[in-house]
Every structure is written in structure tokens, then in C-alpha cells.
Structure 1
Amino acid sequence: MPEDYYRTLGVPKNAEGSEIKAAYRKLAMKFHPDRNSGNKDAEQKFKEINEAYEVLSDGKKRGLYDQYGHAGVQGGASGGAPNFDFGDAFGDIFENFFGGSGARGGRGRRRRGVDLKYDLEVSLEDAYSGTSVPIPYQRMEQCAACSGTGAKPGSKLKTCPTCRGSGQVQLSQGFFSLAQTCSHCGGEGHIIEAPCQDCRGGGRVRGKAKVTVRIPPGVQEGTTLRVPGAGESAGRGSPNGDLYVQIHMKHHPRFTRSEDDLVFVRTINFPEAALGCALQVAALDKETVSIKIPSGVQHGAVFRLRGKGMPRLNLRGHGDLLVKIQIEVPQALTPRQKELLEELAKSMEANAEKDPGFFKKLFGE
């Protein structure tokens, strides 16, 4: 006499359908033959939980079982597929056994080549205007001698005797069947009897490649550009991976960058700061811009030139050019210069008493 179905799944007789399904999924994972190869007890247990779930997951069969026991469902739990959603009940089982591919695999799931990364240094001028850069690199490429098949030119591929060319084998357990990639041919569906001498049967050889990458205006440190199909080959006619080009910005002698803004530090002397002046700044677009510095400007003051910064990547418009003022204090003075500044200090005595720090710094006293 078979064991009580509720006891088999470890659930109470008043269990909800969701509880029954959860218990079944847990036990199916534990006792699946793929996880217990050669274990007859586990195989038997797996059949028992399939039989129990077939009955208890069906409302009509469960009612008959609750009323009449095993006699009420004789012939009803014969291993046929119960009426439930396989994708829902076995989703995580498929993912664990087949890498998230469900029952699809073998020749239906083509391998893809490995992605590659390339680090590229770009000048600020090129990042501003955009450019195209040829990139030479090495990668695994499809073997030209065998066209990626891995077989010696002129030889034939032998149909895999295990999967008969399908690339898959069927595993039948209880009331359901799963398709698994054939381990004999690796899902290819054929066997190489005479390997290609150039690639030794792998379908790939190391070679040199060159691609021209378009650098769009506005790229910055860390920007990554994708070149589809420029990665490594997987051989056997499978698609190549991609090439990812990561941008690194070269140091610039005049400008520093803050996202889409450019920062330019301009040094002026004390008279220019006190009296005001006009500055000429050459922007990255090669246009010379005039800035009026007001009298009394303070050290560290910033003047914003709108739209004179970097282009916004994949957007309209530009950032701003920020001109930061740095006031230079002379380290050495001629006697005449010192005399004139001392006269200035006396005329500004009231202000100097309030804030003498500037003149102490200026004269070193």
C-alpha cells in the first residue's frame, strides 16, 4: 500500500494548494535523479512525491482521495502529467539544472563569444569635438581553415550517436520529461573525427584585429563604448562577443573637468585685483572670450561663461567654463614697490587694523 500522500509531501490534510506546491518543489529538488545519480532510494522517493503531487494538486482527484483513499484514485495517478503550470512549479528547478534555460538547450541555444575590454586614453580636445580612433588588439577568431567547424577541411562530421544529431537528450522522470544538453557532443549534434590541424579541433585561433571606434563628443572618464561583434569568437559559426572600450581622460595643462563643466584657473596680480582688469581666455572651441574682472575681486572668485564647457554626451548643449581667480602675492619687492605699498597701507590704515592679514602676508612681517 502506498504511503499517505499528505505524509509523502509532509503537509497537513488541510494544506492550501500553495503549501502543497511549495512542499513538492522542495522535495523534487532534493530527490531529483540528476542530484542523486545511482541512488535507487532517491529515485523511488522522487516517483512517490510525483505521484502524491499529481493527486493533491488536482482538486477533483484530491476530493476523491480524501473520501476514499488510494482506492478513489486508482488509475488516476498513473504517471501522466497533472493539470498545472510546469513553468511555475519547476521554474527554479530548471534554473538550477540548466542555468536558467528551462528545457531549451543544445543546438537551440547557440554559444556566444567572450566579451573583451580595451582601455583607451583620450585628450580633452578629442573628447570635446569627437573623433574616430583605430584600435589594434588580439582576440580569438574563427579558424579560417575550417570555417570554425573544428574539423579537418574535406572531412565529414559524424552525427552524435547519443543524441542522434539533436544536441539534446531527454530525461523522463515520473510524469514529466526534461531536455538536457548532450554531454557526448556538448550540444553540437555531431562528433569531430578528424580535427583541423590549424585550430586542433577548437574552431578558433588567436589573431590580430583592428576596429575603428567613434568617440562621440562629451565622453568623460569611465565612459564605456560598446562595439558589437568585435569580441572573441566562440567558433562553430556562433556569434562573436562584443568589445567594450573604456575611456580614460589624459591630463590637460590648462583645463580641469567637473562633469560637463571646464575649470580654468587664471592668476592675476594685486593691482589687477584691486583696480579690475579685462582677461582673454581661449576656450576649447578655439574662440577667445573676454572677461571683465571687477575691481576688488577676491581670491578664489569664480566667473561662469555659459555654454563654453564640454558637450553633453548624447544630449543637446554644453556645460559652462568656470574661470577661477587666483591672486598672486609677490615674494620679492623692489624698494620702490615696497615704498608705494607702505603708502597704500597707511592710506588704508583703518581697514588694515581690522584685517591686517593681507599686508603681513605681502611684506612678510
Structure 2
Amino acid sequence: EAYEVLSDPEKRKKYDTLGADWKRYQQGGSGMGGFDWGGYAGAGRQQPGAGGAGTGGFGGGGDFSDFFESIFGGLGGANAGQQSRRQYTTGRPGKDITSPVDVTLREAFTGSKRIVTVEGERLEVNLPGGVRTGSKIRMSGKGGRGVGTGQRGDLFLEVNVLDDPVFRREGDDLMVHVPVDLYTAVLGGEMEVPTVEGKKLILTLPPGTSGGKKIRLRGKGMPRLKGGGAGDLLVEIDIHVPDKLSDEQRELFQRLRALG
């Protein structure tokens, strides 16, 4: 029947006007009396009025592709189109969006703000102190826009903490190497220890401090995202040996070596 209708323009025109029952109408003559319009009441057609006139074609309810849907079970483009219309009507949620963001170690320590643009919208994001590489900050309803009545997806900011030239991070602890002159290491004394936020701590070394010694300063590391508190700052001593010695210094060291 599909081939018969498609190959004959006249029959196709009749089908467009009368639907799948065009043959029965043709066999019953040109009058409207033998044709049952009741089956088309819900398909977008109107029954003829008192004057015997009715609407032609499929009205607002369909087009010629409905003919193939009735024969081939709604496969192909017609079914895909209906599914797309249903999704638009019922709504489809938007996609989640993941956006990378780089921060310095100091920003990760103190917390920072970032401006990001998603779907044409500028958003200000607060990054809490203590974030680390791989941390994700979630902003609900700030991702991709949904279809129809679907809600927006979520925005995830994935943090990458840049390497620092002075400090090395291990979990919530920080490591720093501090050079100490030979005389302070031998005799003891005060030394300055840098911190991530730019302050200086004064640390007193005991006499006879050896190179490589680690001193733990509790609570001076990175803030913890969960549970509160902070990690520790581990200070590793690097003893600085003078490159050049005066004659007097060399003589003093020789006397020390002799004293054993």
C-alpha cells in the first residue's frame, strides 16, 4: 500500500485528505455518506458540518510520515522525532560541568576567590583554605542548562595546587629547608623560619645541631578541610659551610680540630 500511494500522486493526494481509509471511500463513491469520520476525531480532523464540508489532510495532528509509522511500527525518524518532543515536554536535566582551576600554595592555605564563566553567566567561587590537588568544589544548579523543564546540572571546580619553590606539601603537613650557618649550628642560637602566609617564626636551635635534623612545629601546616585544626610544619636544617675562610678562621678551625 505504501508503494501504491507513493508512486501515484493522485492516490497520495487522496491519502493526505482521507487517511488510511481512502480506498474504502473511493469504493463507496464520491459522497461522504459511506465514510466513517469517527475514527479521525482524535487525530486532529474535524467531522463535517451541516454543509457536508470537513477539514482536509491530517490537520494539526500529523503529516505524511504518520502513514509510515502506521505501517512500519513507528521506526526510524518518526519515532525519534516523537521521543525528542516527549523529552522537551517532560524536561531533561542539564549536564554537569567540570572546570579546572589552578591555585598557588599560599592561596590553598589562606583560601581564595575565583571568577568563572559558565553558560554565559559569571560566577564568583570561594575556595576554602586547605584545598589540595584533586579537591572538587561543587556549585549546585550552575552547570549546563536543561531542556524543557529540566533543571540545570552542577558545576564542579577541580583544584590543582601549583608547586611552590620554598615549601613542599605532604598531606596537611608542610616541609621547608632552612639554611643555618656553621657557627649557629655548633654554638646554638636563633634562626628564622619562613611560613606560607609570608610571616617569620623565630626558632632557637640547641648547640650541636646537625645537618638534616628535622624540627616539627605543630599546627603550623595546612588547614584541614575536615575536622578543623591544621597540619604541622617540618623544618629541615641545612648547615651552610663557608666557601672561603680567612687565615685567622682557618687557624681557629685547626686549633679546634687539635683539641678534638
TM-score under structure 2 length normalisation = 0.60
Structure 1 residue 341 corresponds to structure 2 residue 253: yes
1:13 paired residue number: none
What is the CA-CA distance between 1:299 and the residue it aligns to? 1.1
Cα separation, partners in 2 of 1:109 and 1:273, compared to 1, 3 Å: farther
2:231 paired residue number: 319
Identify the match of residue 118 of structure 1 among 94, 99, 104.
99
What is the CA-CA distance between 1:287 and the residue it aligns to? 4.9
Q: How many residues align?
A: 175
Identify the match of residue 158 of structure 2 among 237, 246, 251.
246
What is the correspondence of 1:209-288 to structure 2 with a 5 Å cutoff?
Answer: 209-284=121-196, 287-288=199-200
What is the CA-CA distance between 1:337 and the residue it aligns to? 2.5
> Secondary structure of 1:342's match?
helix
Task: Describe the superposition over 1:49-101 as per-residue Cα deviations: whole angstroms up to 9, x where unpaired.
Answer: xxxxxxxxxxxxxxxxxxxxxxxxxxxxxxxxxxxxxxxxxxxxxxxxxxxxx
2:46 paired residue number: none
> Secondary structure of 2:106's match?
helix
What is the CA-CA distance between 1:107 and the residue it aligns to? 8.2
How far apart, CA to CA, are the structure 2 residues paired with 1:282 and 1:265?
Answer: 10
How far apart, CA to CA, are the structure 2 residues paired with 1:268 and 1:109?
Answer: 70
> Secondary structure of 1:280's match?
strand
> Secondary structure of 2:250's match?
helix
Identify the match of residue 130 of structure 1 among 98, 103, 111.
111
TM-score under structure 1 length normalisation = 0.44
Q: Which has the larger radius of gyration?
A: 2
Unaligned runs of 5+ in 2: 1-85
What is the CA-CA distance between 1:130 and the residue it aligns to? 1.7
Task: Describe the superposition over 1:193-223 as per-residue Cα deviations: whole angstroms up to 9, x where unpaired.
Answer: xxxxxxxxxxxxxx53321111111111111
Q: Output the aligned Cα RMSD.
A: 2.4
> Secondary structure of 1:134's match?
strand
Cα separation, partners in 2 of 1:238 and 1:259, compared to 1, 3 Å: same
> Secondary structure of 1:307's match?
coil
What is the CA-CA distance between 1:329 and the residue it aligns to? 2.4
Q: Which amino acid aligns with 1:136?
A: T
Cα separation, partners in 2 of 1:322 and 1:231, compared to 1, 3 Å: same
Task: Describe the superposition over 1:160-213 as per-residue Cα deviations: whole angstroms up to 9, x where unpaired.
Answer: xxxxxxxxxxxxxxxxxxxxxxxxxxxxxxxxxxxxxxxxxxxxxxx5332111
> Secondary structure of 2:258's match?
helix
What is the correspondence of 1:1-365 to structure 2 with a 5 Å cutoff?
Answer: 110-137=91-118, 207-284=119-196, 287-348=199-260
> Secondary structure of 2:125's match?
strand
How far apart, CA to CA, are the structure 2 residues paired with 1:288 and 1:106?
Answer: 61
Structure 1 runs of 4+ with >3 Å offset: 105-110, 284-288
